[in-house]
Structure 1
Amino acid sequence: MTKIKLFATSILFFLSFLLFSQERQDVGSLMDLAIKAKVKKFKENVNFNKAQMFFKQGNWDSTLVYSMKEISNTTNKELTDYCHYFRGISFKEKKLLNESKKEFNEISNDFQFFYKVKMKLGEIALGQNEFKNALQYFQEIEKFPNTVSYDYKRSNVLHNIGLCYLHLKEFDKAEEYLFKGAKLHEVEKDTLSLIGSYMDIATLYYEQYKDNQAIPYFEKGYHLSKKVKSFAFKKTATLNMAVVEENRKNFPLALAYRKEYETWKDSLNDQNKVWAIADLEKKFAVKQKQKEVNILEAENKIKIAERNSLLFSSVLLLILFGTGVYFYRQKIKNNKIILAQKEELDKLNATKDKLFSIVSHDLRSSVNALKTSNSKLIESLETKNYTELDVQLHNNSAIANGAYNLLDNLLNWALLQTKQTYFFQESLHLATIVQHVEYNYKPLMINRNISFENRVSTTDYVFADMDSLKIIIRNILDNAIKFTKDNGNISIYTRDSDDDFCYLVVEDTGLGMSASTQEELLKKTALLSKKKNDDTIGTGLGMQLCKSMIYKNGGRLEIESEENVGTKIIIVLQKFKNHG
């Protein structure tokens, strides 16, 4: 059930980081009461009073301004700690996590609510995927005695510890803490948090491919989302159920969930529009006030400008003179750049012309070969020479496949040159990718009686774009088959390598190549290789495409070959180190 597993993983961060962070100060909380006491005690500290007021209102920009003013003007460590806390929360709400972390680290250990600082640092570490650091912070908070009142929910701490273990693939501990957190959420009747718990428990089981245990929790999350007003949770829970039913092959029910998902999605968009309009109205009011201020400032500036106009005129003349000299030198420099670009453009045009010439020649040859073969097919059919007919049909198939591969490579090459390809590097299981490509070529190798062996290690994971990696392996394997005679051998395997790169080797017993040919193939150039034999050598476009895509994936290409013995094409790719 791959679809559900991927979506469940994608919502993991959404639920864990947004749902279980309590940023705003509840009225009557311990910190709220402490802040009120500080306001009474330090009435003369206007900046602190404004900072705490905007902090309670959730006006993060104003909080940052006045808290910074207070920090600059006071030597009171107690007030400084509160201001750094206000700034840390404000940056966190504005998604500036590194700045938030710096502010929290400025707070002294004597701060009355230092445990809240650890809680926020844990949430930031969780949001930045620093799971071991986050786990340390939350475990410190977990050790606090239950007999003392604190400004946080213990259920959230337990849940976040479970999330850290889930990301670290320690599933037994993750299960223990996620269930502890869920039970406390049930006791607290915190419906939103409980929905998040159910979703993350489902994710836990999907990570372990325990579908039967995961699906009931998706269903619980869905039914519970009916009771809340949050369109985001309704949308997420409904989409999960749609994917669950699709994988169960219950398509009518899946369609019903999809329609419900679109309803919640539209509702969420409408809500966002209302908030956006309110924000625009607020900004408009601020701009109107700012215009009035700007008019007064402009009047003052005009008076100053009249007194200093003579000085400014002199400075302006000097600037114009300097600018003229600069632009003259810049023109000379630009002319040199344009000349170099023209030379490069000429080379690119030459490459393009050569490409069109070779591709058109190959396509014309393929079409002409098909025409000739079809004529022979008609003759064989009329004479009922079925043996010859079978040979010619296989020949036609080979010609068509060659033309298709040429056009496919041409399309991918053009997309790569115009930077229109979708490129996303991720963790890929190398053995699985090779098996996908191998499947398409097995019939061709069996038909030519070519022995094939796949010894790719099942433990290797590479960091690459999946589509481009398939194109690379497909072209290399296609070349190996093309240059290997009937009854030959082809093998694909991985070599022992260092910690940074994985070496994928495609070895054949084909024609091989000279040292000069190897050197030419490995050049980082856009020019295509020359044709030597129309029966075996193609445009060279496939190899150029492979090199470009390997370089784009952060790898390199190596060749080991001997004429009339065989060739080893080595694809060197980055390893994915963090795969658990």
Structure 2
Amino acid sequence: MEWDSTLVYSMKQLSKRNVVELKDYCHYFRGVSFLRKKLFKEAKNELGFISKNFAFYYNVIFYFGEIALQKNEFELALKYFNFIKDANEKQYFFKRNAVLQDIGLCYLHLKKFHKAEEYLFKNSKLNEIEKDTLALIESYLSLANLYYIQYKDNQAIPYFEKAYHLSKRVKSFDLKRAAAKNMAAVEENRKNFPLALTYRKEYEAWKDSLNDQNKVWAIADLEKKFAIKQKQKEVNVLAAENKAKIAERNGFLISSVLLFVLLGTGVYFYRQKIRNNKIILAQKNELDELNATKDKLFSIVSHDLRSSVNALKTSNGKLIQNLESKNYAELDVLLHKNSSIASGAYNLLDNLLNWALLQTQQGYFYRESLHLIRIVEHVEYNYKPLMLNKNIDFKSSVSASDYVFADMDSLKIIIRNFLDNAIKFSKENGKISIYSRPASEDFCYLVIEDTGLGMNEATRKELLKETVLLSKKQNDDIVGTGLGMQLCKSLIRKNEGKLDIESEENVGTRIIIALPKFKNHG
């Protein structure tokens, strides 16, 4: 989530409009952004501006509780969480098991162990029913620590072991590290030092993996700077060579007989042209051979990134000019333009990473029962500020009874790309709907519909072809490579699903995603 961008857009809306409901939403988004950035004082201030008539005021109470818990104000946190613990979670964005977990932690810190056990046990049972692996690991660790600090090792250790085994199935480095570290402590207390050492090494390995992940972008930035430096050296060498050629040509012309000046000049340029053509032809043949061995994704990404960087370079030049002239209105437009360019480049890199992991079979892929409406709500929540910015009328009516058998991460990538396209290709004041079609015996059908640019029949058929070739852009004003569409098609096939498209130019597009139904859900 781009919390800084959320803060910028929400402040822009606060400065423009004085509608109470819109101001509540802006303060809400700002409060959540500050909370996720761990700026608790600022988060509490922003949430305090929200009126009690706000549609999601229970969410505000939940976040007040989280802030109090982070600040070790456990009694105050309990008051907030107890106020909302019986709320209907379908109307809000927090889950009841998260509230139970937080209440249990408050009682644990207050050393009210019986109450802590009651709520933490309820939370773990609810997570087991919902098959929420990440939340289940956290609840097992909390129960284990509850018993462990009371020296009830026989009750604590099974929960430590459950959390450790479940951590093998998730991607969260933090949970993997915590589970391994706790197992190391358990084995050390058992005096089983060889096994404790094994867990310690695993803990350090996950710690190093997290550090390596944080260094990826720094390394990429260094590589880019190195490439630019090397290219500048080549430019300097070519400039020196050109100067030498110019001097040679001038010397030849001066020393030549005036009678043969025209003839000599013609012959010289003709020979230079033939020579340059040979060099160009040789270089072309070499480049053709090199390009034939490169992955098509490389050329696409390099082109789009170069376009984005060039656009940023041009825009930054205008930023400097307008900053000097104090043209703040134009500065605001340029800053939002830069944000859009950076967001597009980030989405391209994110799709490229997932595509590369998919092609090299390095990505984590685990199919399980997923509550479709929960996945859709999680994705759409991140895009509501973008739709609000374009004044798009958004409706979601996904069936609460649909459970699909799919990989959670890849399903989120699919929905995120199609929703992003719907927003990107929609005009101001457009409409976007996400809803369910009646399920069949084997499949659940999720539809993402917009009233955007649409496409002709030839483009629609081209997009549905079983091919690795990337789609061509139909509108030069909209940034896109087609990589997201190909990634979605590949992930849908891997999840044994189907894709269909219904579209009409200047009317809109309807994306229909068929996903295998989870039939054993009770």
Scaled by the length of structure 2, the TM-score of the pair is 0.49
Q: Which has the higher contact order (CA 8 A, sep 6+)?
A: 1
| TM-score with structure 1 setting the length | 0.45
